[in-house]
Every structure is written in structure tokens, then in C-alpha cells.
Amino acid sequence: MLFNQPEKYFFKNRKTIQLNGQLISLENPIVMGILNITPDSFFEGSRYNTENEIVGKAQQMIDDGATILDVGAYSTRPGADSVTVKEEVNRLDVAMTVLRKHFPDTAISLDTFRSTVAKEIIEKHGPCIINDISGGTLDPHMFHTVAELGVPYILMHIQGTPSNMQENPNYKDVFKETLLFLSERVAKLRELGVADIIIDPGFGFGKSLEHNYELLNRLDGFKILEAPLLVGISRKSMIYKPLGTDANEALNGTTVINTMALLQGANILRVHDVKEAVEAVKIVSWTKSTSKN
């Protein structure tokens, strides 16, 4: 059982992430802006392909307060087209060349579950955070690659694969099963010497609407892992389905749930709309600091 495992399976809550010799502070929550280099991401407003589009959106997100840019070249929405390793590398190579040229000091995470992609891009363009939606389940070499590269790793929970994860997600207890998965994977990473691990419960990845809200309501329970917590719910169906709208109309709902996540200890918000998320962080941080006085 999870709570009977040795102390080595847990780790101290780090207040910083180390990337390329620089420290990213987590004393206050930070915002990660989504930059999709794909033609088919679920939210049309997050797709950017030309150099001008990439530069323009990246500049906007940085100006709005994003600490990290999360760059993805393979849509993992249900029903998305498959992308070859070569195509994913080519898309990321173009984006990284542009970003390193115009924003050399900005922290970047690579949204990929392929170790070969992560390795090739990082060796060419320099250290990045690896944001793996599969928690290492789709590529058995990922954990060893992260350890070899010595970069931070975002460990996300998923049930199934992107192609089938929403067909019939099933849990006896979604919180406990997600927590157990994350704790076991953290242990493997720590044994390999990976120092900077961020956990992500994986909202929308192999979860029903009810599963997502159960995880949200028990989000503070992930504190037992003593790891930085990332929440990525931006414009997802768990927001717009109860409202009877769509992703284009989900900004207000996103802000509401981001605020709920911050109140339960989220350290990083992964979002399409940086300005609104940064404002939520500022208000929640101000409220918490005022309550201590």
C-alpha cells in the first residue's frame, strides 16, 4: 500500500526548479503558457505555425507574465492525427530555433512523450523541461533519458493512451489510483537520480467529467508527495460541458477552476490565457499573505 512504503518514495517539497543553471522560484505560483505548433489542437486559439505567429504569441505570453513556455508539436486530444517522430522533431526544431533566437532567457518545456524527440531537441537547443503526458508509460526509455539529460520532468497521470483514453475511463477511486501511480513513478525517477520532478494529476486524460471534479475536490491530497503540483485544465471539456458551451467560451470557467486549484496548493498553472491566470495568482497570493497578517 502507498502509505506503508519506505520514506525514500517521498521527497522534500522543492521551492525551486533548476534549469540550465538557473533557478525558477516556486515560492509563489507561476504560469506556463501553451504554445502549440500543430494544426489540430483542441483549442484553435492555441495553434501557431509561422515564425511571426510564434514570436507574436510568445512575446504576448511573456509580457502577460508567463514564466515558462510549453511547446508542443503533437496534439494528444482524442481523435487527433498521428504524427511521426520526424515530423514532431521538425516542428519543434523550427519553434525552438525561433524561441531561442528571440527569447534566449525564457524557460521552455517540451510537451512530448517520446524520449528520442526530447533528447534530439535538447541536445540541439539546450536544456528544457520535459512535459510527458504519459508519465513514462508510452516510452520505456523516457525516465533514463530524463536522468541522462539532467533536466526537470513533469510527470503526468494518464489512463490508457491518447487514442483510447476517453472511451471508458474506469476507477474504483480515481484519487487514490492517481496518487499511487504518481508515487510509484516518482520513486523510479528518484532512484535514477532525477532531482526536479513536477506532478500533474492529468485532468482530462483518461477521466470522465465526474473523475475530473473528484480530483479537483481532493487536489490538496497530492501534497503528501511533497512535489510541485502542476494543474492543466485550461479550456478543457470539464469546464465547458457543464456549461453547455465550447472551448472558445471557456475562459471564465478556466479562471474559476484555476483559482480553486491555487487555493488547494497548485504551484504551476498551464494555460492558454496567461494574463487571466497571472491575475488569479496575484489575487490568491495577496489574499493568503493578508490572512497571515
- b/e per residue 41-65 (b: at least 16 CB within 10 A): bbbeebbbeeeeebbebbeebbebb
Q: What CATH number does the domain containing 178 carry?
A: 3.20.20.20
pLDDT at 13: 56
- Within a domain: 51: yes
**What is d(CA 228, CA 66) in angstroms, rounded to the nearest whole number?**
17
Determine the pLDDT at residue 5: 40
Give domain status of residue 107, yes or no: yes
For residues 220 and 174, is the Cβ–Cβ distance under 8 A? no
Q: Would residue 223 show up in a list of annotated catalytic residues for this protein? A: no
- Count of other CB atoms within 10 angstroms of residue 7: 6
Average pLDDT over residues 140-154: 98
Strands 68-72 and 30-36: parallel
Is residue 236 part of the annotated active site? The answer reads yes
Q: Which of 270, 275, 282, 288 is catalytic?
A: 270
CA angle 241, 245, 248 (to 5 degrees): 115
Q: Residue 278: inside a domain, yes or no?
A: yes
pLDDT value of position 163: 61
Asked if residue 12 belongs to a domain, the reply is: no
**Percentage of the chain exceeding pLDDT 90:** 76
The string of DSSP letters for 160-199 reads S-TTTTTT----S-HHHHHHHHHHHHHHHHHHTT---EEE
Contact, 161 vs 135, CB < 8 A? no
Question: What does the block give as the cell for 164?
Answer: 483510447
Q: What are the Cα distances from residue 291, in Å, to 220, 264, 267, 284, 287?
A: 19, 15, 19, 11, 6
Q: What is the mean pLDDT of the chain?
A: 89
What pLDDT does residue 9 have? Answer: 38
Q: Span 1-28, mean pLDDT? A: 67
pLDDT tens-place string over residues 234-291: 999 999 999 999 999 999 999 999 999 999 999 999 999 999 999 999 999 998 877 6
How far, CA to CA in Å, does 125 sit from each of 22, 71, 98? 16, 13, 11
Question: Higher confidence at residue 287 or residue 150?
Answer: 150
Could you give the number of structural domains in the chain? 1
Cβ 35 vs Cβ 57: under 8 Å: yes
Give the pLDDT confidence score for residue 226 in this predicted structure: 86
Q: Is residue 13 part of a domain?
A: no
Q: Could you report the per-residue pLDDT of 242-255, keeping only the tens digit for each?
A: 999 999 999 999 99
> Over 60: is that where the pLDDT of 8 sits?
no
Mean of pLDDT values over 15-29: 92
Q: Is the pLDDT of residue 11 over 70?
A: no
In a domain, 168, yes or no: yes
Residue written as cell 479550456?
Answer: 235
pLDDT band at 75 (very low <50, low <70, confident <90, very high): confident
So what's the pLDDT on residue 180? 97
Grid cell 494574463 is found at 275
Pairing mode of beta strands 16-19, 153-156: unpaired
Query: Mean of the pLDDT values across residues 61-89?
Result: 86
Return the minimum-mean-pLDDT range out of 4-8, 15-19, 163-167: 4-8
pLDDT tens for 30-63 read: 999 999 887 644 445 445 668 888 999 999 999 9
Residue pair 124/100 in contact (Cβ under 8 Å)? The answer is no
Cell 474506469, located at residue: 170
Q: Which residues in 26-121 belong to E strands, given as ranges?
A: 30-36, 68-72, 107-111
**pLDDT value of residue 93:** 94
User: Residue 121 corresponds to which cell in the numbers above?
Assistant: 531537441
Cα dist from 243 to 147, 225, 246, 250, 252, whole Å = 43, 33, 8, 9, 11
86, 207, 236, 241: which is the annotated catalytic residue?
236
Is the residue at 252 inside a domain?
A: yes
Which pLDDT belongs to residue 15?
A: 79
Sign, CA dihedral 10-12-18-24, equals: positive
Q: What type of residue is 65? A: G
Question: Tens digit of pLDDT for each residue in 85-125?
Answer: 999 999 999 999 999 999 999 999 999 999 999 999 999 99
pTM: 0.89
Per the structure, the complete domain to which residue 96 belongs is given by 29-291
